[in-house]
């Protein structure tokens, strides 16, 4: 039995049907005997839509209110996903960044994670429940919500995986892993089955948008294995493993 953190991006939870599909996938992993903690992004274009609404009202909105607004997106997806798991006959509890113990510095819109104290998440897992955590958010020393910068849910997932001592952090997206080029644009692009943290950082530096840069740095620093894969297929994706870790030892690859 392993402890698996699964992160589902906005395209994987874009509508209620997708949320139900993801719920089934989480339950499947659980039924294989694993403990599962999930980090979710906001549904589809929610974050962009919230920003547009804010800018309609004020071309220069207060940073604190922007983070108050943007953290609402992940709150919607996490609670709907918990309901979908419940409706499918399993148990889940959702947690905001604050409830999950994500403590950040004071910088609204681009906060850095200072510590993760996920006691509520551990308690939920110990009860046999799926724990679902809102990505992209934490609280500052004032107790106000902060966001980690666009695409920050990847970093939330890795930080949670590190704090829980997870065996693997699975990053679910809408393509089968990391490719030599964007497969949505270049059909001949090939999936890269294994890649190092350094190689991804080099790709990110030249504009590849596979994973948030900070998430890869964080994973490398704490030697957290990553599996980037599609939530729309069951094919293995791309494994990013620390030196000396064998792909055969990674749970839930098939
Ligand atoms: N919802 C946030 C964004 O769109 C965070 C994320 O998706 O990782 O940037
Ligand atoms: Mg998003």
Task: List, run by run, the mean pLDDT of 10-residue segments along the chain (254 residues).
Answer: 97 98 98 98 98 98 98 98 98 98 98 98 98 98 97 97 98 93 88 94 71 92 97 95 92 87
Asked if the structure places residue 254 within a domain, the reply is no
* Strand runs labelled E in the chain: 3-8, 35-40, 92-95, 102-104, 113-116, 130-134, 137-139, 145-147, 168-173, 194-195, 226-230, 238-240
pLDDT of residue 210: 76
pLDDT of residue 94: 99
Radius of gyration from C-alpha coordinates of the chain: 17
This prediction has a pTM of 0.96
Euclidean distance between CA atoms 243 and 254, whole angstroms:
22
Q: Which of 132, 135, 137, 157 is nearest to 68 (CA)?
A: 137
Which atom, in ligand 1's list, is nearest to the CA of 156?
A: 8
Ligand 1 contact via 47 beta carbon (within 6 Å): yes
Which atom, in ligand 1's list, is nearest to the CA of 148?
A: 5
Most distant CA atoms of the chain, gap in Å: 53
Pairing of strands 3-8, 168-173: parallel
Residue of 9, 111, 134, 136 with the most ligand 1 atoms within 8 Å of its CB, for mutation: 136
Asked if the structure places residue 10 within a domain, the reply is yes
pLDDT of residue 208: 60
Asked if the structure places residue 48 within a domain, the reply is yes
Ligand 1 contact via 75 beta carbon (within 6 Å): no
Q: Which domain holds residue 72?
A: 3-249
Ligand 1 contact via 136 beta carbon (within 6 Å): yes
Q: Counting ligands in written order, which one lies closest to the CA of residue 41?
A: 1
pLDDT of residue 121: 99
pLDDT of residue 205: 63
pLDDT of residue 207: 53
What CATH number is given to the structural domain containing 11?
Answer: 3.40.1160.10
Residue of 109, 150, 160, 231 with the most ligand 1 atoms within 8 Å of its CB, for mutation: 150
Asked if the structure places residue 153 within a domain, the reply is yes
Ligand 1 contact via 41 beta carbon (within 6 Å): yes
Euclidean distance between CA atoms 254 and 104, whole angstroms:
35
Asked if the structure places residue 234 within a domain, the reply is yes
Euclidean distance between CA atoms 84 and 82, whole angstroms:
5
Ligand 1 contact via 251 beta carbon (within 6 Å): no
Provide the domain count of the chain: 1
Instruction: Tell me the residues surrounding ligand 2 (ion) with CB < 5 Å.
Output: 10, 41
On whether the CB atoms of residues 54 and 66 are closer than 8 A, the answer is: yes
């Amino acid at each position: 039995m392993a402890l698996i953190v699964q992160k589902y991006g906005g395209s994987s939870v874009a509508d209620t049907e997708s949320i139900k599909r993801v719920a089934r996938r989480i339950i499947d992993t659980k039924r294989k005997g694993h403990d599962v903690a999930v980090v979710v992004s906001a549904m589809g274009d929610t974050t962009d839509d919230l920003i547009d609404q804010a800018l309609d009202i004020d071309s220069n909105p207060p940073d604190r209110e922007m983070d108050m607004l943007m953290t609402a997106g992940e709150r919607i997806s996490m609670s709907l996903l918990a309901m979908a798991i419940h409706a499918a006959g399993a148990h889940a509890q959702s947690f905001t960044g604050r409830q999950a113990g994500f403590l950040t510095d004071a910088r609204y819109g681009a906060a850095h994670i200072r510590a993760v104290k996920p006691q509520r998440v551990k308690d939920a897992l110990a009860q046999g429940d799926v724990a679902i955590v809102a990505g992209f958010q934490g609280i500052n020393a004032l107790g106000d919500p902060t966001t980690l910068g666009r695409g920050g849910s990847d970093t939330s997932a890795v930080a949670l995986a590190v704090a829980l001592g997870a065996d693997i952090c699975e990053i679910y997206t809408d393509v089968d892993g990391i490719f030599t080029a964007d497969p949505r644009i270049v059909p001949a692009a090939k999936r890269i089955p294994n890649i190092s943290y350094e190689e991804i950082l080099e790709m990110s530096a030249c504009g590849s948008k596979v994973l948030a840069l900070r998430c890869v740095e964080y994973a490398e620093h704490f030697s957290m294995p990553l599996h980037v894969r599609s939530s729309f297929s069951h094919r293995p994706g791309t494994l990013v493993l620390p030196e000396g870790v064998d792909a055969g030892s990674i749970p839930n690859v098939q």
